[in-house]
Structure 1
Amino acid sequence: MSDEKHDNLDLISGEAGAHPVGTGIGATGGALAGAAAGTLGGPIGSVVGGVAGAVIGGLAGKAGAELVNPTAEEAYWRERYATEPYYEAGRTYDDYGPAYALGWTGVGLYGGEFDAAEPQLARAWEAQRGRSSLAWPHARHATRAAWGRVNENLTDAVVPLDNDDVIAVLNDLLETCRDGEYGFNTCADHTSTAQLKVVFQQRSKDCTAAALELYNHILRLGGTPKDGGTASGAIHRGWAAVRGALSGYSDYAVLDECERGEDTALARYRKALKEALPADIRAVVEGQRQGAQRNHDQIKALRDQYKLGA
């Protein structure tokens, strides 16, 4: 065996430059379709179909899977599956996990819109459902959700962003974090409920930490962090009603405004993730997006709780 090392050798062609995650996802997606076709010929057909599908899928998956991290997708859905609107009480992640995997791998294999690919996905499900007890009419909701999440993160850009554009994206998110810091602090000042004051102050600290992380990455890339994100920026980014009107708001109304602010923050993170960001920066942005999602969900749960008590 040669000791010569090559970075990112293509697992299928042997050529340099392949993305290991992309090839792996493509191969997995191809195996889903191959196994589904091979099942018609019995167990041996499944093996042959899976191998052939893996080869085809590996070649196809390299193009789009740069933006798909299977480990991150699995962790994301494992944490959230029980809060999804299609979740059925009493079911476990073992029921939904294979459906999510079919969704995030299917994007690289079939591409396009979910509805167009659904007949193929339904056939693949019957071969790949494993121990899941979900029939396709129920599993399809989880598959669609995972498909949509991956599609949302895909970019039409042919080449990665240049350094200046990456800095611009990070500066936009930096302002978003500072807006959140400002907004949550303002909400903390306008509530007399001890529980909410603690929540708002903690969320403000989270935004401060996220802003510092972005600030340091901007400096590392040779950029200049923006100074914006205070009251004037908040007006444009979802905290318009926070400052002047909150003194007369109930706790429910304050929470409602917070959720609006977090909706806007999430939209800006989703927009950033549609760009062709470098892998290390994408990981930072995705991590912060997940944090913003948790903030949003906590605020929404509290808002619903206070609405019931109003």
Structure 2
Amino acid sequence: MSNKTAHTLNDLIAIARDGKEFYEEAAQKVDDAELRTLFARIATTKSQLVNELSAAVQAAGGKPEDSGTFVGSMQQMYGKVRATLGDTEYGYVAELEESEDRLLEAFDEASRDADTPPAARDVVVRLLPEVRACHDVMRTRKLAMKNAK
């Protein structure tokens, strides 16, 4: 496995792990049962992404990333503050949608980057529809909540 493949996939693992942890926390903090269920479901999807990306890194002889990112930690903290100071449900949805933007952008970039090794690109392209679906769900939810205000 090239260092570039491990680096590319490990960056995606860290960002997906950020999302997983943020969704798990949000599911504990919101009162709305439908949102709790949605957040828990997407946290499970993020966990599966982390597992699949980690397996690809291991299969190629690399060591999978086992933590999130600083940006993800800051985004999660901002989401907590925002939810505490205002509409908890909308605050979490808005910040989680931002997290989805970040993951989708990273996946899109890895799939388009000419320097992404073929082994990494294959995994990224295979998982991209799932990443896009989670993003679209949260974007739609955020817009619906914003328009309902």
TM-score using structure 1 length: 0.44
The residue identity in structure 2 corresponding to 1:277 is P
Distance 1:169 1:210 in 2: 14
Distance 2:56 2:38 in 1: 27
Q: Is the 8 A contact 1:190 1:246 kept in 2?
A: no
1:130-152 C-alpha deviation (Å, 9 max, x unpaired): xxxxxxxxxxxxxxxxxxxxxxx
Deviation at 1:247, TM superposition (A): 3.0
Deviation at 1:229, TM superposition (A): 0.8
Deviation at 1:240, TM superposition (A): 4.9
Distance 2:8 2:130 in 1: 18
Distance 2:52 2:121 in 1: 13
Q: Secondary structure at the match of 2:129?
A: helix
Distance 1:181 1:249 in 2: 23
Q: Does the alignment pair 1:277 with 2:114?
A: no
Q: Does the alignment pair 1:264 with 2:117?
A: no
- The CA RMSD measured in Å over matched residues stands at 2.0
Q: Within 5 A, what are the aligned runs for 1:1-310? A: 163-229=2-68, 232=70, 234-235=72-73, 238-250=75-87, 251-273=89-111, 274=113, 275-278=115-118, 280-310=119-149
Residue identity over aligned pairs, in percent, reads 23
Q: Is the 8 A contact 2:22 2:76 kept in 1?
A: yes
The residue identity in structure 1 corresponding to 2:18 is D
Deviation at 1:248, TM superposition (A): 3.4
Q: Is the 8 A contact 1:255 1:303 kept in 2?
A: yes
Deviation at 1:291, TM superposition (A): 1.4
Q: Which runs of 4+ in 1 moved over 3 A?
A: none
The residue identity in structure 2 corresponding to 1:173 is L
Distance 1:216 1:244 in 2: 35
The residue identity in structure 1 corresponding to 2:128 is R
Question: Which structure 2 segments of 5+ residues have no match?
Answer: none
Q: Is the 8 A contact 1:175 1:233 kept in 2?
A: no
Question: Which structure 1 segments of 5+ residues have no match?
Answer: 1-161
The 3 A distance-change label for structure 1 pair 308 and 186 is same
For these two proteins, the number of residue pairs brought into alignment is 146
TM-score using structure 2 length: 0.86
Deviation at 1:283, TM superposition (A): 2.6
Deviation at 1:187, TM superposition (A): 1.6
**Based on CA coordinates, which of the two structures has the bigger radius of gyration?**
1
The residue identity in structure 1 corresponding to 2:100 is E
Q: Which has the higher contact order (CA 8 A, sep 6+)?
A: 2
The residue identity in structure 2 corresponding to 1:212 is N
